[in-house]
Chains A and B, each alone.
Chain A
Amino acid sequence: MSNTKLQTLRLLRSLLRELREVKNSSPRNTMAYGYLMDQFRKNQVTSEKYCKEHNEMLHQAQTYLCLLRSTREHEALQAVYRRGERTVAESANLVGLQLPKPYEE
Protein backbone atom coordinates (compact mmCIF):
# COMPACT_ATOMS: atom_id res chain seq x y z
CA MET A 1 0.00 0.00 0.00
CA SER A 2 2.78 2.40 0.93
CA ASN A 3 4.31 1.52 -2.38
CA THR A 4 1.31 2.72 -4.36
CA LYS A 5 1.17 5.79 -2.17
CA LEU A 6 4.76 6.53 -3.01
CA GLN A 7 4.02 6.13 -6.70
CA THR A 8 1.06 8.48 -6.41
CA LEU A 9 3.21 11.08 -4.73
CA ARG A 10 5.85 10.69 -7.37
CA LEU A 11 3.23 11.16 -10.06
CA LEU A 12 1.96 14.35 -8.45
CA ARG A 13 5.50 15.66 -8.09
CA SER A 14 6.28 14.97 -11.74
CA LEU A 15 3.12 16.77 -12.78
CA LEU A 16 4.01 19.82 -10.73
CA ARG A 17 7.55 19.74 -12.07
CA GLU A 18 6.26 19.77 -15.65
CA LEU A 19 3.97 22.69 -14.87
CA ARG A 20 6.83 24.58 -13.31
CA GLU A 21 9.18 23.86 -16.16
CA VAL A 22 6.82 25.01 -18.85
CA LYS A 23 5.94 28.24 -17.00
CA ASN A 24 9.42 28.91 -15.68
CA SER A 25 7.94 29.91 -12.34
CA SER A 26 6.15 28.38 -9.42
CA PRO A 27 2.83 26.86 -10.51
CA ARG A 28 1.36 27.47 -7.06
CA ASN A 29 -1.08 30.18 -8.12
CA THR A 30 -2.32 28.53 -11.28
CA MET A 31 -5.70 26.88 -11.76
CA ALA A 32 -4.14 23.58 -12.73
CA TYR A 33 -2.21 23.46 -9.45
CA GLY A 34 -5.34 24.00 -7.40
CA TYR A 35 -7.30 21.41 -9.35
CA LEU A 36 -4.59 18.75 -9.20
CA MET A 37 -4.00 19.17 -5.48
CA ASP A 38 -7.73 19.04 -4.89
CA GLN A 39 -8.16 15.83 -6.91
CA PHE A 40 -5.19 14.08 -5.36
CA ARG A 41 -6.39 15.03 -1.86
CA LYS A 42 -9.95 13.95 -2.52
CA ASN A 43 -8.93 10.54 -3.77
CA GLN A 44 -6.35 10.00 -1.09
CA VAL A 45 -8.59 8.45 1.52
CA THR A 46 -10.98 6.62 -0.74
CA SER A 47 -8.28 4.93 -2.76
CA GLU A 48 -8.74 1.54 -1.18
CA LYS A 49 -12.53 1.62 -0.97
CA TYR A 50 -13.26 2.79 -4.48
CA CYS A 51 -10.42 1.25 -6.30
CA LYS A 52 -11.82 2.01 -9.72
CA GLU A 53 -12.37 5.67 -9.04
CA HIS A 54 -8.83 6.00 -7.78
CA ASN A 55 -7.39 4.12 -10.71
CA GLU A 56 -9.36 6.31 -13.01
CA MET A 57 -7.92 9.42 -11.47
CA LEU A 58 -4.41 8.00 -11.57
CA HIS A 59 -4.83 7.01 -15.21
CA GLN A 60 -6.02 10.51 -16.02
CA ALA A 61 -3.12 12.03 -14.12
CA GLN A 62 -0.65 9.81 -15.94
CA THR A 63 -2.22 10.74 -19.25
CA TYR A 64 -1.94 14.42 -18.40
CA LEU A 65 1.66 13.99 -17.33
CA CYS A 66 2.39 12.23 -20.61
CA LEU A 67 0.75 15.09 -22.52
CA LEU A 68 2.78 17.78 -20.76
CA ARG A 69 6.04 15.88 -20.95
CA SER A 70 5.74 14.77 -24.58
CA THR A 71 4.72 18.22 -25.74
CA ARG A 72 7.79 19.69 -24.06
CA GLU A 73 10.09 16.99 -25.47
CA HIS A 74 8.65 17.41 -28.93
CA GLU A 75 9.17 21.16 -28.82
CA ALA A 76 12.75 20.70 -27.62
CA LEU A 77 13.52 18.27 -30.45
CA GLN A 78 11.89 20.58 -32.97
CA ALA A 79 14.02 23.46 -31.73
CA VAL A 80 17.19 21.41 -32.15
CA TYR A 81 16.43 20.08 -35.62
CA ARG A 82 14.59 23.07 -37.04
CA ARG A 83 17.50 23.86 -39.33
CA GLY A 84 18.13 20.29 -40.37
CA GLU A 85 20.53 17.73 -39.03
CA ARG A 86 23.92 18.53 -37.51
CA THR A 87 26.78 18.96 -39.93
CA VAL A 88 29.76 16.62 -39.81
CA ALA A 89 31.87 19.35 -38.23
CA GLU A 90 29.28 19.95 -35.50
CA SER A 91 28.99 16.24 -34.78
CA ALA A 92 32.75 16.00 -34.48
CA ASN A 93 32.75 18.96 -32.10
CA LEU A 94 30.23 17.18 -29.89
CA VAL A 95 32.77 14.51 -29.01
CA GLY A 96 35.64 16.95 -28.80
CA LEU A 97 37.10 16.29 -32.23
CA GLN A 98 37.83 18.59 -35.12
CA LEU A 99 37.80 17.97 -38.81
CA PRO A 100 41.14 18.18 -40.56
CA LYS A 101 41.64 21.34 -42.56
CA PRO A 102 40.85 20.86 -46.23
CA TYR A 103 43.89 20.80 -48.44
CA GLU A 104 44.56 24.01 -50.31
CA GLU A 105 46.95 24.61 -53.13
Chain B
Amino acid sequence: MSGSIFLSRSCQSLRRILQGSSHPFFMNNVKRFYRERKRFYKNVSISQSGKSFEINLDRRKVKTPAGQLLVIPNEPLAIAVATEWDNQGDVIKQHTMHLTSLCNTAIDNPSTRNKQQVIRAILHYLDTDTVCYRLQDPPELFALQTNEWDPLLDWINERYKVEVSSSTSITGPEIPDATRQTLGHHLETHSDWALVGYENTVSCLKSVVLTFALMDRRLGVEEAVTLSLLETEFQTARWGSVEWAHDTEIADLKARVAAASLFTQLVSGSHEVKQKQPIQ
Protein backbone atom coordinates (compact mmCIF):
# COMPACT_ATOMS: atom_id res chain seq x y z
CA MET B 1 0.00 0.00 0.00
CA SER B 2 2.64 2.47 1.03
CA GLY B 3 4.63 1.49 -2.04
CA SER B 4 1.80 2.51 -4.29
CA ILE B 5 1.37 5.92 -2.73
CA PHE B 6 5.05 6.53 -2.93
CA LEU B 7 5.05 5.63 -6.60
CA SER B 8 2.06 7.74 -7.51
CA ARG B 9 3.26 10.71 -5.52
CA SER B 10 6.69 10.56 -7.02
CA CYS B 11 5.10 10.29 -10.48
CA GLN B 12 3.22 13.50 -9.89
CA SER B 13 6.16 15.36 -8.47
CA LEU B 14 8.34 14.10 -11.29
CA ARG B 15 5.84 15.44 -13.77
CA ARG B 16 5.74 18.74 -11.96
CA ILE B 17 9.50 18.97 -12.04
CA LEU B 18 9.55 18.13 -15.74
CA GLN B 19 6.94 20.78 -16.43
CA GLY B 20 8.68 23.26 -14.21
CA SER B 21 11.93 22.88 -16.06
CA SER B 22 10.38 24.13 -19.28
CA HIS B 23 9.54 27.35 -17.52
CA PRO B 24 11.76 30.21 -18.57
CA PHE B 25 14.09 31.68 -16.01
CA PHE B 26 12.51 34.98 -15.17
CA MET B 27 14.26 37.98 -13.69
CA ASN B 28 17.46 37.15 -15.45
CA ASN B 29 19.07 40.55 -15.60
CA VAL B 30 17.14 42.21 -12.83
CA LYS B 31 18.55 42.57 -9.35
CA ARG B 32 16.16 41.23 -6.77
CA PHE B 33 15.89 42.63 -3.31
CA TYR B 34 14.91 40.07 -0.74
CA ARG B 35 15.31 42.38 2.22
CA GLU B 36 11.99 43.55 3.57
CA ARG B 37 11.47 47.26 3.51
CA LYS B 38 9.57 49.30 6.03
CA ARG B 39 6.43 51.02 4.91
CA PHE B 40 7.67 54.46 3.95
CA TYR B 41 4.39 55.97 2.83
CA LYS B 42 1.09 56.80 4.37
CA ASN B 43 -1.48 57.28 1.66
CA VAL B 44 -1.93 55.34 -1.55
CA SER B 45 -3.78 56.89 -4.44
CA ILE B 46 -4.13 56.43 -8.17
CA SER B 47 -3.83 59.11 -10.80
CA GLN B 48 -4.92 59.06 -14.40
CA SER B 49 -2.66 60.13 -17.20
CA GLY B 50 -4.21 59.83 -20.62
CA LYS B 51 -5.94 56.49 -20.80
CA SER B 52 -3.79 54.74 -18.24
CA PHE B 53 -3.35 54.87 -14.49
CA GLU B 54 -0.43 55.20 -12.09
CA ILE B 55 -0.05 54.40 -8.41
CA ASN B 56 1.11 57.11 -6.02
CA LEU B 57 2.58 56.44 -2.60
CA ASP B 58 2.19 59.81 -0.93
CA ARG B 59 3.83 61.84 -3.70
CA ARG B 60 6.08 59.22 -5.20
CA LYS B 61 5.09 57.07 -8.14
CA VAL B 62 5.49 53.32 -8.03
CA LYS B 63 8.08 51.97 -10.43
CA THR B 64 8.85 48.49 -11.68
CA PRO B 65 12.03 46.60 -10.68
CA ALA B 66 13.61 47.69 -13.98
CA GLY B 67 12.91 51.31 -13.10
CA GLN B 68 10.05 51.99 -15.47
CA LEU B 69 6.90 53.74 -14.37
CA LEU B 70 4.17 51.32 -13.30
CA VAL B 71 1.51 52.21 -15.87
CA ILE B 72 -1.72 50.26 -15.62
CA PRO B 73 -4.18 50.17 -18.52
CA ASN B 74 -7.47 50.33 -16.61
CA GLU B 75 -9.01 51.58 -13.42
CA PRO B 76 -10.23 48.38 -11.74
CA LEU B 77 -6.77 46.83 -11.96
CA ALA B 78 -5.18 50.07 -10.74
CA ILE B 79 -7.50 50.04 -7.74
CA ALA B 80 -6.66 46.42 -6.99
CA VAL B 81 -2.92 47.13 -7.21
CA ALA B 82 -3.25 50.25 -5.07
CA THR B 83 -5.19 48.20 -2.52
CA GLU B 84 -2.31 45.75 -2.34
CA TRP B 85 0.06 48.59 -1.45
CA ASP B 86 -2.44 50.05 0.96
CA ASN B 87 -2.94 46.69 2.69
CA GLN B 88 0.70 46.45 3.75
CA GLY B 89 1.41 46.77 7.44
CA ASP B 90 4.60 48.15 8.95
CA VAL B 91 6.67 46.07 6.57
CA ILE B 92 6.22 45.84 2.82
CA LYS B 93 5.84 42.20 1.92
CA GLN B 94 6.35 42.07 -1.79
CA HIS B 95 5.72 38.37 -2.03
CA THR B 96 2.08 38.97 -1.07
CA MET B 97 1.56 41.48 -3.87
CA HIS B 98 0.73 39.15 -6.70
CA LEU B 99 -1.10 41.65 -8.90
CA THR B 100 1.75 44.13 -8.64
CA SER B 101 4.25 41.49 -9.69
CA LEU B 102 2.10 40.52 -12.66
CA CYS B 103 2.00 44.17 -13.76
CA ASN B 104 5.76 44.38 -13.30
CA THR B 105 6.23 41.29 -15.45
CA ALA B 106 3.95 42.66 -18.15
CA ILE B 107 5.74 46.02 -18.27
CA ASP B 108 9.35 44.88 -17.87
CA ASN B 109 9.00 41.63 -19.82
CA PRO B 110 12.06 40.28 -17.99
CA SER B 111 12.27 37.16 -20.15
CA THR B 112 12.39 39.31 -23.33
CA ARG B 113 10.21 37.00 -25.35
CA ASN B 114 7.75 37.96 -28.05
CA LYS B 115 4.11 36.94 -28.21
CA GLN B 116 4.71 33.82 -30.30
CA GLN B 117 7.29 32.52 -27.86
CA VAL B 118 4.97 33.10 -24.91
CA ILE B 119 2.14 31.28 -26.67
CA ARG B 120 4.46 28.39 -27.46
CA ALA B 121 5.51 28.28 -23.81
CA ILE B 122 1.88 28.14 -22.71
CA LEU B 123 0.97 25.42 -25.19
CA HIS B 124 4.01 23.44 -24.15
CA TYR B 125 2.06 22.49 -21.04
CA LEU B 126 -0.49 20.74 -23.26
CA ASP B 127 1.92 17.87 -23.84
CA THR B 128 2.05 17.12 -20.14
CA ASP B 129 -1.34 18.41 -19.13
CA THR B 130 -2.31 17.28 -15.61
CA VAL B 131 -5.85 16.29 -16.57
CA CYS B 132 -4.62 14.11 -19.45
CA TYR B 133 -2.51 11.82 -17.29
CA ARG B 134 -4.35 9.09 -15.45
CA LEU B 135 -3.11 6.60 -12.91
CA GLN B 136 -4.64 3.16 -12.90
CA ASP B 137 -3.20 1.93 -9.67
CA PRO B 138 -5.62 2.68 -6.88
CA PRO B 139 -8.91 2.03 -8.72
CA GLU B 140 -10.66 4.65 -6.57
CA LEU B 141 -8.24 7.31 -7.74
CA PHE B 142 -8.74 6.26 -11.36
CA ALA B 143 -12.50 6.52 -10.91
CA LEU B 144 -12.13 9.91 -9.24
CA GLN B 145 -9.95 11.23 -12.03
CA THR B 146 -12.36 9.95 -14.67
CA ASN B 147 -15.32 11.51 -12.91
CA GLU B 148 -13.71 14.87 -12.26
CA TRP B 149 -11.52 15.40 -15.29
CA ASP B 150 -13.46 13.83 -18.17
CA PRO B 151 -16.21 16.48 -18.17
CA LEU B 152 -13.52 19.11 -18.64
CA LEU B 153 -11.98 17.30 -21.59
CA ASP B 154 -15.46 17.01 -23.13
CA TRP B 155 -16.00 20.70 -22.48
CA ILE B 156 -12.79 21.93 -24.12
CA ASN B 157 -13.25 19.58 -27.08
CA GLU B 158 -16.71 20.90 -27.72
CA ARG B 159 -16.04 24.55 -26.92
CA TYR B 160 -12.93 24.91 -29.09
CA LYS B 161 -13.52 22.03 -31.51
CA VAL B 162 -10.26 20.36 -30.57
CA GLU B 163 -9.14 16.84 -29.70
CA VAL B 164 -7.60 16.47 -26.27
CA SER B 165 -7.72 12.97 -24.87
CA SER B 166 -6.45 11.21 -21.77
CA SER B 167 -3.87 8.49 -21.41
CA THR B 168 -2.50 6.13 -18.79
CA SER B 169 0.93 5.71 -20.37
CA ILE B 170 3.97 7.67 -19.31
CA THR B 171 4.36 9.20 -22.77
CA GLY B 172 0.95 10.81 -22.53
CA PRO B 173 -1.74 11.28 -25.15
CA GLU B 174 -1.12 12.33 -28.73
CA ILE B 175 -2.12 15.96 -29.23
CA PRO B 176 -2.89 16.66 -32.91
CA ASP B 177 -1.25 19.70 -34.50
CA ALA B 178 -4.66 21.12 -35.40
CA THR B 179 -5.53 21.30 -31.71
CA ARG B 180 -2.34 23.16 -30.95
CA GLN B 181 -3.05 25.61 -33.78
CA THR B 182 -6.64 26.24 -32.73
CA LEU B 183 -5.72 26.95 -29.14
CA GLY B 184 -2.74 29.02 -30.31
CA HIS B 185 -5.03 31.15 -32.48
CA HIS B 186 -7.30 31.68 -29.53
CA LEU B 187 -4.38 32.82 -27.40
CA GLU B 188 -3.23 35.17 -30.16
CA THR B 189 -6.45 37.16 -29.84
CA HIS B 190 -5.36 38.20 -26.35
CA SER B 191 -3.14 41.12 -25.47
CA ASP B 192 0.39 40.67 -24.16
CA TRP B 193 -0.85 41.59 -20.70
CA ALA B 194 -3.57 38.97 -20.74
CA LEU B 195 -1.03 36.36 -21.82
CA VAL B 196 1.08 37.12 -18.75
CA GLY B 197 -1.94 36.06 -16.69
CA TYR B 198 -2.44 32.98 -18.86
CA GLU B 199 1.16 31.90 -18.53
CA ASN B 200 1.19 32.33 -14.76
CA THR B 201 -2.06 30.41 -14.38
CA VAL B 202 -0.87 27.59 -16.57
CA SER B 203 2.42 27.29 -14.72
CA CYS B 204 0.57 27.11 -11.40
CA LEU B 205 -2.11 24.66 -12.47
CA LYS B 206 0.16 22.65 -14.81
CA SER B 207 -2.78 22.34 -17.13
CA VAL B 208 -3.88 24.15 -20.26
CA VAL B 209 -7.35 22.61 -20.04
CA LEU B 210 -7.94 23.88 -16.50
CA THR B 211 -6.57 27.30 -17.43
CA PHE B 212 -8.96 27.67 -20.36
CA ALA B 213 -11.86 26.46 -18.20
CA LEU B 214 -10.97 29.02 -15.53
CA MET B 215 -10.60 31.90 -17.97
CA ASP B 216 -13.91 30.99 -19.62
CA ARG B 217 -15.55 31.05 -16.20
CA ARG B 218 -16.43 27.39 -16.48
CA LEU B 219 -14.59 26.87 -13.17
CA GLY B 220 -13.92 28.96 -10.10
CA VAL B 221 -10.40 29.39 -8.73
CA GLU B 222 -10.93 27.02 -5.82
CA GLU B 223 -12.35 24.31 -8.07
CA ALA B 224 -9.52 24.70 -10.55
CA VAL B 225 -6.86 24.40 -7.84
CA THR B 226 -8.57 21.37 -6.30
CA LEU B 227 -8.77 19.70 -9.71
CA SER B 228 -5.13 20.48 -10.36
CA LEU B 229 -4.14 18.86 -7.05
CA LEU B 230 -6.66 16.04 -7.34
CA GLU B 231 -4.22 13.29 -6.52
CA THR B 232 -2.80 15.17 -3.54
CA GLU B 233 -6.34 15.74 -2.30
CA PHE B 234 -7.09 12.05 -2.69
CA GLN B 235 -3.97 10.99 -0.82
CA THR B 236 -4.36 13.54 2.00
CA ALA B 237 -7.97 12.47 2.45
CA ARG B 238 -6.68 8.96 2.97
CA TRP B 239 -3.41 9.48 4.80
CA GLY B 240 -3.90 12.86 6.45
CA SER B 241 -2.66 16.27 5.50
CA VAL B 242 0.40 18.08 6.79
CA GLU B 243 -0.39 21.71 7.45
CA TRP B 244 2.98 23.22 6.70
CA ALA B 245 3.21 21.39 3.40
CA HIS B 246 -0.22 20.74 1.94
CA ASP B 247 -2.25 23.61 3.35
CA THR B 248 0.50 26.10 2.68
CA GLU B 249 0.88 24.89 -0.88
CA ILE B 250 -2.85 25.08 -1.53
CA ALA B 251 -3.18 28.58 -0.05
CA ASP B 252 -0.23 29.82 -2.07
CA LEU B 253 -1.46 28.21 -5.26
CA LYS B 254 -4.96 29.62 -4.80
CA ALA B 255 -3.60 33.12 -4.26
CA ARG B 256 -1.38 32.92 -7.34
CA VAL B 257 -4.06 31.45 -9.59
CA ALA B 258 -6.66 33.93 -8.34
CA ALA B 259 -4.31 36.83 -8.99
CA ALA B 260 -3.37 35.65 -12.47
CA SER B 261 -6.93 34.93 -13.53
CA LEU B 262 -8.23 38.22 -12.13
CA PHE B 263 -5.38 40.00 -13.90
CA THR B 264 -6.30 38.45 -17.25
CA GLN B 265 -9.99 39.18 -16.77
CA LEU B 266 -9.37 42.79 -15.84
CA VAL B 267 -7.02 43.54 -18.72
CA SER B 268 -9.20 41.71 -21.24
CA GLY B 269 -12.09 44.14 -20.95
CA SER B 270 -15.55 43.16 -19.88
CA HIS B 271 -17.00 41.46 -22.94
CA GLU B 272 -14.14 39.90 -24.72
CA VAL B 273 -13.50 36.20 -24.28
CA LYS B 274 -17.04 34.92 -24.23
CA GLN B 275 -18.08 36.37 -27.58
CA LYS B 276 -15.31 34.75 -29.56
CA GLN B 277 -16.29 31.99 -31.89
CA PRO B 278 -14.05 28.97 -32.13
CA ILE B 279 -11.72 29.29 -35.09
CA GLN B 280 -12.35 26.65 -37.69
**Interfacial residues, chain A to chain B (CB-CB below 8 A):** 19, 22-23, 30-32, 35, 52-53, 55-56, 59-60, 62-64, 66-67, 70-71, 73-75, 77-78, 80-81, 85
Contacts and interface: CB of A to CB of B under 8 A. Distances in A.
B222 interface: yes
B255 interface: yes
Nearest to A73: B251
A44 to B, nearest CB: 17
A55 B217 contact: yes
Chain B residues touching A, range: 35 or more
B221 A66 contact: yes
B220 A70 contact: no
B243 A32 contact: no
Contact of B86 (A23, A59, A70): A23
A66 B83 contact: no
A31 B221 contact: no
A80 B76 CA distance: 33
B228 to A, nearest CB: 14
26 contacts: A23-B87, A30-B83, A31-B45, A31-B79, A31-B86, A32-B79, A52-B274, A53-B271, A59-B220, A60-B265, A63-B220, A63-B262, A64-B258, A66-B222, A67-B99, A67-B262, A70-B251, A70-B255, A70-B258, A71-B96, A73-B251, A77-B244, A77-B251, A78-B248, A80-B243, A85-B244
A77 B243 contact: yes
Interface of B: 45-46, 75-76, 79-80, 82-83, 86-87, 93, 96, 98-99, 217, 220-222, 243-244, 247-248, 251-252, 254-255, 258-259, 261-262, 265-266, 270-271, 274
Contact of A67 (B76, B220, B259): B259
A85 B220 CA distance: 32
A32 B255 contact: no
A55 B220 CA distance: 12
A13 to B, nearest CB: 17
A77 B80 contact: no
A69 B79 CA distance: 18
B265 A63 contact: yes
A74 B252 contact: yes
Given A70-B251, A74-B251, A31 B46 contact: yes
B80 to A, nearest CB: 7
In the A-B complex, list the 9 residue pairs whose CB atoms are closest, starting with the nearest.
Answer: A67-B258, A70-B254, A70-B255, A74-B251, A81-B244, A66-B258, A32-B83, A73-B251, A66-B221
